[in-house]
Amino acid sequence: MKWSLYKNKEYLKPFLFSNGKSQLDIVKEVIDAAKEGNKIIFIHGFCGTGKSAVALNIAKELGRTSIVVPVKALQNQYFEDYTNKYHINKNNDEKLKISILFGRQNFECTFTDEMADNIFLPCTIDVNYKENEKRLFEYVKKNPFVSAEDFDDYKKVRRMSVAPACLSWSPVLPADFEVTMLDDAEPLMYEAVNGKYIYYKRGGNCPYYNQYQSYIDADVIIFNSMKYELENAIGRKPKTEVEIIDECDEFLDNLSNEKIINLNMLQSKLGFFSSKYKDNKIIPEIYELVSDMIKNSDKFIENEEIFLLKETKVKNLMTYFFNYTISHMIMNDEEDYLFNVYSNLESFKPYTEETYVVFSRNKRDEIIVKLIMVNLERKLKEFLDKNKTFVMMSGTIHSRKVLENIFGIKKYKIIEAEVKEIGKRNRIRLGKEKDFNHIYLKKEGSREEYLRALSDCINKAKKPVLIHVNAFKDLPSDYECSKYNLDIKSREKLINEQMDDKTGEMIQRFKNREIDILYSTKCNRGVDFPGDMCNSIVFTKFPYADRSSLFWRILSKTNKKDADVFYFDKARREAIQRSFRGVRSKDDKVDILSPDMRVLEFFG
């Protein structure tokens, strides 16, 4: 076994860690552990481990691999590093083929000059919306596999009626799904976690659909965690020899499986489907069920009641959606809202006995059903059962108690990589710090006191400064900025900025020194600001999770003792990870500031 990492043609030797091990030693230990039959293998390594290179060398040895990253920034880092700077050679000296799956918003459409997430493209347009009628017929005319004369009513239009108008549209469908057109496609079959799937590869050069070629021939497929969960849930993810989870503690923390269904939107879609598929007797029944759920939801919303799924009509909704006729009708159109509902319900299918349901209203006064499953042990088991070996990498692994009592991980192996914390973090006290917990903040005048202390930290921090916003409510509102004459960013402005910034432009501007203050709720993981790129880090609060959230309320109710251990363990790991954003090597140093005394005490 040999190490492989090249920058252009230059061979890069494996790092040597403070414990005497090298990156190659870690790879060898993982391979041995996998051969011994260990299902879960942890790599514990702080900054300086070079986890991405270790992961790819493991892939080189074990075979086809899925790599899962929690945030887009880390996915972008893999893309930048291993498509431009570095490469790995397989044992036959061919380059390791690495593919990264990105969302539509990252690509330009080749059918029009719009971005690929535009909602009016042949592959995305709502085929069940009357206002789209004119566009739908335009696409029908461009579809080489149908005759426009057969469509005298837009209700006859299906996804297959319009999407082939774009020569690049190349869907991925279950092998048993009958496709009666796409004669120009090359059907490429692969083994997925739930059976066989076919990638219908057509002509054209759409970068979004072309990336699914990776399901056929890539050595390594890199998913973000949301895409990984979805592809596993619907059974479309290719079978691989090993799953490597980067920032694994974040991945495990987010296994709670919380989804929402907009009942009003669902009712609207079903109403149209009922008129479109007049011969189907089940759709009107589903429509009546959803209408009844909407009608009787007010009393549940008013009392903020939490129900077990099996006690509600959501269970009946699941039964309808998993009917073979209905599911096959929906499965061929992943852009439709009904597919979204189906995939959400599918993710709870094995857990109907322990899924909870809450009803609420959104800002548009629509009825929302929130489903949540807090048994993280069972959710993890779903991934474990569908896949072979898991390699979990992080500098902040959960405590043994949390791994065993929350996730049910009793048998596992931990391999130590670089475990010595690097760099220096300096606490800066300004004199206004207090324990701004939720009890203190109920006192009169405490909100103004907190905001002024936060403003003091931000204005006196050595620039460039990264501001970890634990929750939007930690920032002042526009009104508070005006009332207290504060010159820091309001929460409304940050919310709008982050909604508009889909590609991480603000992070890049901060890295390029175009701005010297970066407010963010998204820089907890996978974003590096080495050297003097970041001189100070401000924590708005100690990173405790919101205990009033549905997940923590239910977990505390069902498993109080273990929930408390998990809660404090998560906060500890988050604080360490957030400080790492500005400390990436032994020479790095960063100032830590916060109005919250608990932050300074933690780093003391």
477 Cβ contact partners less than 8 Å away, ≥ 6 residues apart: 490, 491, 492
| CA end-to-end distance (rounded Å), the chain | 43
Q: How far apart are CA 9 and CA 374, in angstroms?
A: 49
User: Helical H runs in 359-463?
Assistant: 376-386, 400-405, 446-460
**Cα angle, residue 125 at apex, residues 119 and 129 outer, rounded to 5°:** 115
Q: 389 forms bridges with which residues in the sheet?
A: 242
Q: What pLDDT, on the 0 to 100 scale, is given for residue 416? A: 96
117-125 contacts: CB < 8 A, separation 24 or more?
A: 121/166, 122/162, 122/163, 122/164, 122/165, 122/166, 122/169, 123/159, 123/163, 123/166, 123/169, 123/209, 123/335, 124/335, 125/162, 125/335
Map residue 519 onto helix, strand or coil. strand
pLDDT score of 332: 64
Above pLDDT 90, what percent of the chain?
77
Q: What is the residue-wise DSSP string for 91-123?
A: TTSPBP-EEE---GGGSB-SSSSSBTT-TTSTT
List the chain residues with pLDDT less than 50: none
Tens-digit pLDDT profile for residues 516-550: 999 999 998 878 899 999 999 999 999 999 998 99
The pLDDT, as a whole number, for residue 325 is: 80
As a whole number of angstroms, the distance between CA 554 and CA 309 comes to: 13
Q: Please give the pLDDT value at position 371.
A: 95
Q: What share of the chain is helix, strand, coil (3-state, %, to 5)?
A: 45, 20, 40
Q: SS3 of 495, please?
A: helix
| Confidence at residue 166, expressed as pLDDT on a 0 to 100 scale | 96
The CA distances from residue 451 to 4, 252, 417, in Å, are: 51, 33, 41
pLDDT at 560: 94
Burial of 50-62, coded b for 16+ CB within 10 Å and e otherwise, reads: bbbbbbbbbbbbb
DSSP letter (8 states) at residue 240: -
Listed in sequence order, the residues at least 6 apart from 444 whose beta carbon sits closer than 8 Å to its beta carbon are none
Distance CA 461, CA 480 (A): 22
CA dihedral 400, 403, 405, 409 (to 10 degrees): -120
3-state secondary structure 256-274: CCEEEEEHHHHHHHHHHHH
Q: Where are the beta strands (DSSP E) in 331-450?
A: 355-361, 367-373, 389-394, 413-416, 424-427
Between helix 337-346 and helix 324-331 the angle, nearest 10°, is 120
**Residue from 332, 379, 330 nearest 351 by CA:** 379
Inter-helix orientation angle 560-580/550-558, to 10°:
140
Q: Do β-strands 86-87 and 6-7 pair in parallel, antiparallel, or remain unpaired?
A: antiparallel
What is the per-residue pLDDT for 502? 77
Tell me how far apart the alpha carbons of residues 327 and 194 are, in angstroms, rounded to a whole number: 15
Helix 225-233 × helix 376-386 angle, to 10°: 70
Token pair 């990984």 is found at 228
Paired tokens of 434: 């207090």
The two beta strands, 536-539 and 589-593, are parallel
